[in-house]
Amino acid sequence: MLLNIDLVWLKMHLLRYLLRQSKYELLDNLELLPLANGGFDVFHFNPKKADRTIYIVPSSELQMLLPGLKDDFLELEIDDDIKNMLIKAANRGETPLKLIY
């Protein structure tokens, strides 16, 4: 049985691999989007299929201005390469991710 840490590690490596390959369509409907609440959300390639928006903020201070919304924020403590690839995808409108700056 995999420990929770092993599962998180595997999810993050799979997310990194697919993002590096720009295989967003393969991410569709996979629970690989890391959230600030410590869980993962389903990644949607088509933003219209998503049931909600996940927000990317530059700092935890900004997150603290909106308490109780950790389910709606991307995890800040992820590797920079993953975060940067998700920001690029958000800028292109290819995901339900939105930047707040």
Total tally of structural domains belonging to the chain: 1
Cβ atoms of 90 and 99 within 8 Å: the answer is yes
The pLDDT tens digits for 39-78 are 999 988 777 778 889 999 988 888 888 888 889 999 999 9
Cβ atoms of 76 and 57 within 8 Å: the answer is yes
Instruction: State the pTM of this model.
Output: 0.86
Please count the other Cβ atoms lying within 10 Å of the Cβ belonging to residue 67.
Answer: 7
Q: Which domain holds residue 52?
A: 4-99
Give the whole-angstrom CA distance, residue 76 versus residue 81: 12
